[in-house]
Each structure stands twice: as structure tokens, then as C-alpha cells.
Homo-oligomer: A and B are copies of this chain.
């Protein structure tokens, strides 16, 4: 059983009827529902406007994998929560960053880069190519699949060299993007996954949900280790 917390800004769905129509329970709700049936998950959700954004120390301590969707309000996420999430990742919690979460403060903090990219909202076709059919995150995923309408993200994406590049997107308008990337930070695993614009039903797509379920299992580490200590060490050999 994997303990998953899905964090969502949860603003678009409440402000915009078209988005609400696609995600009546919020993006977090759609993902939570989608994960059921795809594995042994204990799912919790948290949103921006809850106290401490729903991410108290107790919640994080009980979270093995955190998913993050944000867009409009990255700046409203408090420094305290950013640092708390960062430290939990370094201690071993998995982090899955979704779509516009490329600009989330927690992602930027863990990457050390600005995480900028080019974009276009034109509802065009995206085709995601599978570079790693061997990878646990891509089990059950074909050599490529298409999303009929998505926001476009284009290179150059300002990230550190991914440790594993799992998928590259082809866009109808002529661009490419590193859409599924992994890194390790401290004892934690980080996965960035590009698709997921709020005006399209991306989080109802079976391949997308399969990838997220796989990623939750992959990102779950069985450790919880303190990285904040810098102990004085006695010699192990005579000096």
C-alpha cells in the first residue's frame, strides 16, 4: 500500500465553468479517482486554501508520494511549506510534479534552476514517444500515444540534465519537449510529467492515469532518513 497525497491549487475549477465541467471534483479529485483500481493506494488530497495548504508536517510525515498541480498561485505557497516539502523529499518522500507545476516553488527549489519553457494554448495534438519501455513508470504504455488536444510546451526547458529521460513530446505546431523526466534529490525521487492542462480531459485518459499510478509506485522509497545532520566523526583508523 502506497500513501499518496495529491496537492492541487484548485482555483481554475472553481473560477471557470468549462474547467469545472471537465473536473467537477477538481483535478485532484479526478486523479484520486483514477488511481483507484490501478494499484494499492491510500489517497489523500490537499489544496492551496486549506490551512498550511493542507500540507502540515503530520500530513507530509504520513505521505510517501506527493503529486503537485499548480498554475495561477505559485507565489501564494508559503516559504514554510516549500521548505517542508523539500526536506521531506530529501528524506525520501517521492514527488510527482505535473504540467504547469514546472514553475511550482517546490520544483524550482529542488531543481536549482528557473524551469522556464515556451508555451502555446491552441488545443493542438501532442504525441508522446516512449523512450523507455523497460522503465517501471512506462509499463503498459505503447511506443507512443496521442492526446488530441493539449497546451504546447516547447524546449528549451530550463532543467538540470534529467537522470532519466522517459518520454519526448511531438507537437503539431512544430515543437518538441522532454515530457517525462526523473531526478533524485537527497533520498527522494522526483518525476516531472508534462501533460495536464486544465481545459482538456487529460487526467481522464487511461495512459495518463496508468503513468501516474506507475510513478507513485516507482517514487515510493521505503526510507525516511534525516539529511540535516553534519556529525563530527571519530576516526576509524589510528591517526
- Chain A residues proximal to chain B, CB less than 8 Å: 86-87, 90, 92, 103, 109-114, 116-120, 122, 124, 127, 129-134, 139, 143-144, 152, 154-158, 160-161, 163-165, 168-176, 178, 183-188, 221-223, 225, 227-237, 239
Q: How far is the CA of A122 from the CA of B234 in the complex (A)?
A: 9
Copy tally for this chain in the complex stands at 4
Closest 5 CB pairs of A and B: A174-B236, A173-B235, A134-B187, A174-B237, A110-B112
Q: Check if B127 sits within 8 Å of A174, measured CB to CB.
A: yes
Q: Check if A124 sits within 8 Å of B239, measured CB to CB.
A: yes
User: Which of the residues B92, B183, B186, B237 comes within 8 Å of A158, measured between beta carbons?
Assistant: B186
Residue of A178, A234, A235 ringed by the most chain B CB atoms within 10 A:
A235
Q: How far is the CA of A222 from the CA of B222 in the complex (A)?
A: 21
Q: How far is the CA of A65 from the CA of B52 in the complex (A)?
A: 40
Contacts A155-B131, A161-B164, A165-B161 given; does A116 touch B227 at CB 8 Å:
yes
State the Cβ distance, A209 to closest chain B Cβ, in Å: 20
Contacts A127-B174, A156-B133, A165-B165 given; does A90 touch B118 at CB 8 Å:
no
Interface of A is mostly: loop
Q: Which residues of B lie under 8 Å from residue A119 when comparing CB positions? A: 230-233
State the Cβ distance, A42 to closest chain B Cβ, in Å: 22
Q: How far is the CA of A235 from the CA of B103 in the complex (A)?
A: 23
Contacts A90-B158, A131-B155 given; does A114 touch B186 at CB 8 Å:
yes
**Sampled A-B contacts (5; CB under 8 Å):** A90-B113, A116-B227, A117-B230, A158-B227, A170-B174
State the Cβ distance, A159 to closest chain B Cβ, in Å: 9
Q: Check if A114 sits within 8 Å of B152, measured CB to CB.
A: no
Q: Check if B230 sits within 8 Å of A118, measured CB to CB.
A: yes
Q: Check if A235 sits within 8 Å of B120, measured CB to CB.
A: yes
Q: Check if A160 sits within 8 Å of B183, measured CB to CB.
A: yes
Contacts A163-B161, A221-B134, A232-B120 given; does A114 touch B172 at CB 8 Å:
no
Closest to A221 in B: B134
Closest to A160 in B: B185
Q: Check if A175 sits within 8 Å of B114, measured CB to CB.
A: no
Q: Which residues of B lie under 8 Å from residue A185 when comparing CB positions? A: 112-113, 160
Contacts A114-B90, A164-B161, A183-B160 given; does A122 touch B235 at CB 8 Å:
yes
